Amino acid sequence: MNMSLLYPRATASRRVISLDGMWQFQFDPESAGEAAGWTGGLPESCSMPVPSSFCDVFTTKDAREYTGDFWYETDFFVPGEWEGKEVVIRFGSVTHKAKVFVNGAEICSHVGGFLPFNAVVTDVVKYNQVNKLSVLANNELSETMLPCGKTQVLSNGKKVSAPYFDFYNYAGIQRPVKLLCLPKAAVTDYEVKFTLQDADAEVDYSVKTCGEGDVTVSLYDKQGNLAAEGKGAAGKLLVKDAKLWNVHAPYLYKIVIRLYQDEKLVDEYYDTLGIRTFEVKGDKLLLNGKHVYLRGFGKHEDADIRGRGLDLVTVKRDYECLKWVGANCFRTSHYPYAEELYYMADEEGFLIIDETTAVGCMESTMNFLAANQGTGKKLGFFEKETTPQLLEHHRQVLHDMITRDKNHASVIAWSILNEPQCTSDGTEEYFKNLFDYAHELDVQKRPRTYAVVMMSLPHTSKGQQFADIISLNRYYGWYVMGGAGIVDAEAAFRKEMDGWNQVRGDRPVIFTEYGADTLASEHKLPSVMWSQEYQNEYLEMNHRVFDSYDFVQGELMWNFADFQTTEGILRVNGNKKGAFTRQRQPKDVAYVLKSRWEALPTDYKSDK
Ligand code: EVA
């Protein structure tokens, strides 16, 4: 039960109580809290909302930039009638490390800040009483954990985060926390795969349970009518006249899984289920056998004050903006997002490229110097002494992401890394391990990809051989040959594309990033870099290039909205490549995208 990552649902056999709200919070810079007995109560705490990042709610720089251990604490009541069942506290995420205590007893720990985990507390809670939940968290970055980075110590002794990635290292309990009561014998997971036959669909399912019992699986249509039924932990459902899930036209069935012991119902779990197929065929992407051209964005979970904390208002606004601008797809750059977002993509008919937390796997000047001091030897990022540790963690993240997200109709592909250093020898072994593992874990065998950094060129990248879709992050006209040099940028871009055409085999290429920083306050005629006019010109140049290569099958602009990064000379209080501002209002470029994307047919380039 501990490992079940099923999204919490209240049913005849299950109870869910939200623990979100105002908790208590305290920094622990000396890492002394545990020894000092803080699990019995925080000595000098302040209030802190859950879910939220802690960083931007404070008004001092020390608090915002705090790096190290910190504590969250709340009280919760466990109903007496739950005795004899399994009681679990389910964290949507704690960034980046967590150790959980209940009534002072250590329950579990977890590493990785963007996926759920469970604390089974059946034997430690006091029933019909109030209990104390304490979480010791830590937000330090390292090279053996994802995302990669390191911690630096300032001359005043304070630690600060040095991310190897371009987004602010927001931390805290950033997603919902739920108290669950589950039956001892229960459904722990299920998976489905689809075959379409004329108007009908076959749903191959398999269900995992803890405890023996008889399983039934029922599929209901939107009106609540039974559409198909199966008996046994694995089997096939035949859905007559299946209504398919589609882009912007989603149809969701309800799947209900029941577990019986001696003909008595002991557990019931339900989920929404979209029936669809997705595959790469030659250089085309096919949804339900029909060609689809991707258009949309790389996104972030990022908003004013709450940082990376789940905020349903922002989630709703984002989907409204995505629909308005004519997008059909986004990438969860650079980490798996909150589950609520995937359910909404299923409901709204959006396609998701689901990305792991593998960002920053790149030899920066900083880590290169530290790792190779004095040796003069150039080591690749995947050839370090610590690489086996990183790989183990990466496998865990991939496992949990695919386990959590595999049944969403919206999820069409796995992005296994973002911009890794993939020109050195260690790349192949590291990549093969993960790309094979993704196929092993996913019964639907969704295409696997990773976002290829600028410096990785068609003939130097050792990673591209593993990708089912080649995904490029390219900034011709921004980081290179910007401004008046955009003419040369276009020529260099085309030259590189000709190179990809030589090595791609019969695979599609999509753009997972292209963009230019732009201040919503700036206009200039003629354009200069950072002005809205330049962002428009930059995009128009990129689109011209995309339109001239038929094997380019998607364009995900960087970024949907402006977002917070670490401060520095390359960023004006954050990354400003958004088509929308951080407050989700359109820049001029959003209208350029809207008129292009609304005019492009869904199956753009299908006949070529
Ligand atoms: C950028 N470029 O420079 C973006 C980053 C992103 O924010 C990248 O994948 O190549 C990264 O994280 O704006």
Closest CA to 580 of 559, 566, 553, 602: 559
d(CA 433, CA 413): 17
The answer to whether 513 is a known catalytic residue is: yes
Contacting residues for 495 by C-beta, under 8 A, at least 6 apart: none
CA-to-CA dists, residue 445 to 212, 247, 435, 505, 523, angstroms: 29, 20, 11, 20, 47
Residues 203 and 238: their CA atoms lie apart, in Å, by 6
The reply to whether 289-599 shares the fold of 15-182 is no
User: How do residues 176-224 score in pLDDT, each as one tens digit?
Assistant: 999 999 999 999 999 999 999 999 999 999 999 999 999 999 999 999 9
Phi, psi (5° rounding) for residue 347? -75, -30
Residues in the chain: 608
Task: Write the secondary structure of 27-39 as one string of H (helix), E (strand) and C (coil).
Answer: EECCCCCCCCCHH
State yes or no: pLDDT of 122 exceeds 90.
yes
Q: Report percent pLDDT > 90 for the chain.
A: 93
Mean pLDDT confidence for 337-360: 98
Question: Is the Cβ–Cβ distance between 509 and 518 less than 8 Å?
Answer: no
- The answer on pLDDT for 366 being more than 80 is no
- Residue 424 confidence (pLDDT): 82
Mean pLDDT of 419-430: 89
Per-residue model confidence (pLDDT) at position 369: 39
Residues 6+ apart with CB under 8 A from 154: 160
Ligand 1 atom nearest residue 515's Cα: 13
Contact 601, 607 (CB under 8 A): no
Give the number of the atom of ligand 1 that is nearest the alpha carbon of residue 418: 9
Residue 480 has pLDDT above 60, yes or no: yes
Residue 455 has what pLDDT?
Answer: 81
The reply to whether omega before 526 is within 30° of 0 (cis) is yes
For residue 367, what pLDDT is reported? 40
Half-sphere exposure of 484 (CA within 13 A, CB side): 1
Neighbours of 324 (CB within 10 A): 13
304 Cα–ligand 1 center, Å? 20
Q: In testing the pocket of ligand 1, which one of 472, 558, 576 has its CB within 8 Å of the most ligand atoms?
A: 558
Please enumerate in sequence order all residues whose Cβ is within 8 A of that of 351, keeping only pairs 6 or more positions apart, or say none. 247, 287, 292, 294, 296, 328, 329, 330, 345, 410, 412
Split at pLDDT 50, 70, 90, the class of 441 is very high
H or E segment at 346? helix 339-348
Q: Is the pLDDT of residue 375 over 70?
A: no
Give me the pLDDT at residue 379, please: 64
Domain ranges of the chain: 15-182, 186-276, 289-599
**pLDDT level of residue 364 (50, 70, 90 thresholds):** low
Strand partners, 131: 76
Which of 513, 533, 537, 555 is catalytic? The answer is 513
Residues 306 and 58: their CA atoms lie apart, in Å, by 11
Which atom number of ligand 1 is nearest to the Cα of residue 333?
12
Architecture label for domain 186-276: Sandwich (2.60)
Q: Is residue 371 over pLDDT 50?
A: no
Cα 70 from Cα 95, distance rounded (Å): 11
* Secondary structure tally for the chain: helices H, strands E: 9, 30
Which of 227-241, 377-391, 457-471, 546-560 has the weakest average pLDDT?
Answer: 377-391
Q: What is the pLDDT of residue 94?
A: 98
Give the residue carrying structure tokens 């402006």: 562
Q: Distances in Å between the alpha carbon of 151 and those of 158, 246, 533?
A: 10, 45, 39
Q: Name the active-site residue from 191, 419, 533, 555.
A: 419
Cβ distance 557 to 539 under 8 Å?
yes
Contact partners, residue 543, CB within 8 Å, separation at least 6: 555, 596
Alpha-carbon 19 to chain mean position:
23
Q: Which CATH superfamily is domain 15-182 in?
A: Galactose-binding domain-like (2.60.120.260)
Does residue 368 surpass a pLDDT of 90?
A: no
Buried b / exposed e along 288-313 (16+ C-beta atoms within 10 A)? beebbbbbbbbbbbbbeebbbbbbee
Give the distance (Å) from ligand 1 centre to CA of residue 594.
23
The pLDDT of residue 374 is 40
CATH of 289-599, one of 3.40.50.450, 3.30.470.30, 2.70.70.10, 3.20.20.80: 3.20.20.80
- Which protein residue has the closest C-alpha to ligand 1 atom 5? 166
Choose which residue among 334, 473, 478 to substitute to test ligand 1 binding: the one with the highest number of ligand atoms within 8 A of its C-beta: 473
% of the chain surpassing 70 pLDDT: 97
CA of 233 to the centre of ligand 1 (A): 44
Among protein residues, the one with the nearest Cα to ligand 1's atom 6 is 166
Q: How close is the Cα of 517 to the center of ligand 1, in Å?
A: 11
Average pLDDT for 501-510: 96
pLDDT in tens, 277-318: 999 999 999 999 999 999 999 999 999 999 999 999 999 999
State which of 165, 166, 302 you would mutate to test the pocket of ligand 1, scoring each by most atoms of that ligand within 8 A of its C-beta: 166
Mean pLDDT for the stretch of residues 481-492: 98
Q: Which helix (H) or strand (E) holds 343?
A: helix 339-348
Give residue-wise pLDDT tens across range 228-285: 999 999 999 999 999 999 999 999 999 999 999 999 999 999 999 999 999 999 999 9
Beta carbons of 451 and 471 less than 8 angstroms apart: yes
Q: Are 543 and 488 in contact (CB under 8 A)?
A: no
Alpha-carbon torsion (496, 502, 506, 507), positive or negative = negative
Least confident segment among 374-388, 556-570, 576-590: 374-388
CB within 6 Å of ligand 1 — which residues?
Answer: 165-166, 334, 418-419, 473, 513, 558, 575, 577
pTM above 0.85, yes or no: yes
| Ligand 1: centre distance to CA 433 (Å) | 25
88 pLDDT higher than 50: yes
pLDDT for the residue numbered 114: 98
Mean pLDDT of the chain: 95
416 C-alpha to center of ligand 1: Å?
Answer: 16
User: Position of tokens 């209080």?
Assistant: 573
d(CA 126, CA 330): 44
